Amino acid sequence: MVRLFFLVCLYCGSLMLPHSAFSQGNLMIVGGGLEADNQEIFDEILRLSGGAEKAVISVIPAASGVAAQTFAYFSKGLIRHGAKAENIHLIPIAMEDDDSTLDVNEATWLNNGNDELLANLVRKSNCVWFSGGDQLRIVKTLHLPDGSRTAVLDAVWDVFEKGGLIGGTSAGAAIMSDPMIGNGSSLEALMYGAETSPPGEELPGHQGVLLTKGLGFFPHGLVDQHFHARSRTGRLLVAMAYTAQPMAYGIDENTALVYYGKEDRMKVAGAAAVTIFDASHAKIESSETLSSIENLKIHYLESGDSYNFNTGLIVPSAEKILLSGNEEYEESYPFPGGMFAPAPTFQRLITKYLMNNKTNQSVSSLNFTEKDIAYQITLSKTDDSKAFILNRENSSPSYTLQSVNLSLSKMHIELKKLNN
């Protein structure tokens, strides 16, 4: 990745560990909004946990402000798909009281991360699950004041390194990478850049995307969640630029990036997509804020698609057919914006208006951050671009898209009133 700037990373010691440290276990990284009826994801959780009969699952609700309710909801999903209730264990670590439990103050669980009895319970599991909420709480409760791991976090790593499954949704997905995105919107990231904080600490008054230490189970780049539902492309691009991470993964809601450690590959499961951002050969310009990106590569994968991290090979699900030469649409992209035209989703932009389109070789979207500043994102076909499609009855098509080029330009916009 070529850069015309360099920003000092305040947590350089926490960057990606050698891959050998990640060779045994598996990861289930869910982009939030996991529905209890998502059979594909729950079945894979149980399969990777030894099967429904043998699965022993520890749930750590540290991120949640309603720990008891979070545990109950996830447990019901597991039981619905065959898990045994007696094999699902609450690991009482939390920072806030859950008002639904009048006889328990979950805020008193704050320092349980170093409890050896809980650590031993975790070690007997073949799956550890992190709930959604605030990812900074997970990092804070599982580290000691000197930044070292607590006994429970050591136990989670033991489960992983012995071939177990580590999973999480929303905040529980964010902590999988190291460095980690703590919070911040795309708009704030583009306007103000990035700031860093000590592990697990909020940065009062910060502007932009907050970057901090994660738990680092996933060895292949940054992870972001609720991706397209919360328009997080901008903040992920800023985070990539600031941390010099060449790879990043945007995971949609009710969708999982499933990482198979021994094979060093991933598969997509669930309702929507995982968007892979590859900046290995990109040119990124920035000072305090992001100025431009050229030649960043995007892959867009849906359920059943897989990606091999060693070879870079993408394998579409077996049912999909090559779309190239058989594109269904011809209409040009109207460049709509504002309240007078519906803005297309990222998925619609990259499919209907680009890769499933006979006419367009590129499409652009203009996004205002301030009254006179805008960012134009352009998606383009390349010689390496490929598209695969599965048309489904009573549902939108499923796509696999390879090697779409992304460029970004920061623009000054001058607005003038036109006189008739």
Distance separating alpha carbons of residues 87 and 89, to the nearest angstrom: 6
Banded pLDDT at 48 (limits 50, 70, 90): very high
pLDDT grade for 366, boundaries at 50, 70 and 90:
confident
Res 63 pLDDT > 70: yes
The angle that helices 39-48 and 67-80 make with each other, rounded to 10 degrees, is 90
Say which residue the tokens 């050969």 belong to.
281
pLDDT (tens digit, 9 = 90+) per residue, 310-364?
Answer: 999 999 999 999 998 889 999 887 665 666 666 778 898 999 999 999 999 999 9
Q: Specify the pLDDT at position 1.
A: 55
Confidence of residue 387 (pLDDT cuts 50, 70, 90): very high
The confidence score (pLDDT) of residue 4 equals 41
* 58, 197, 230, 302, 351 from 252: Cα distances, Å: 24, 26, 9, 10, 16
Structure token digits, residue 59 = 């749930």
CA 313 distance to own-chain centroid: 20
Token pair for residue 234?
Answer: 């901008």
Q: pLDDT of 156-206, one tens digit each? A: 999 999 999 999 999 999 999 999 999 999 999 999 999 999 999 988 888
182-214 per-residue burial string, b: 16 or more CB within 10 A, e: under 16 = bbbebbbbbbbbbbbbebbebbeebebbbbbbb
pLDDT at 119 over 90: yes
Whether 134 and 171 have beta carbons less than 8 Å apart is answered as: yes
pTM of this structure: 0.93
Query: Residue 41 has what DSSP assignment?
Result: H
Q: Residue 119: in which H helix or E strand, if any?
A: helix 116-123
- Of all residues in the chain, the percent with pLDDT exceeding 70 is 92
List, for residues 229-253, the tens digit of each pLDDT value. 999 999 999 999 999 999 999 999 9
pLDDT score for 19? 40
**pLDDT tens by residue, 98-118:** 898 888 999 999 999 999 999
Residue pair 35/254 in contact by the 8 Å Cβ criterion:
yes
Q: Which domains does the chain have, with CATH numbers?
A: 22-315 (3.40.50.880)
pLDDT of residue 336: 59
Give the C-alpha separation, 153 to 142, whole Å: 6
Residue-wise over 363-378: b if at least 16 C-beta within 10 A, else e? bebebebeeeebbebb
CA distances from 142 to 89, 110, 167 (A): 18, 10, 16
Q: What is the mean pLDDT of residues 362-385?
A: 90
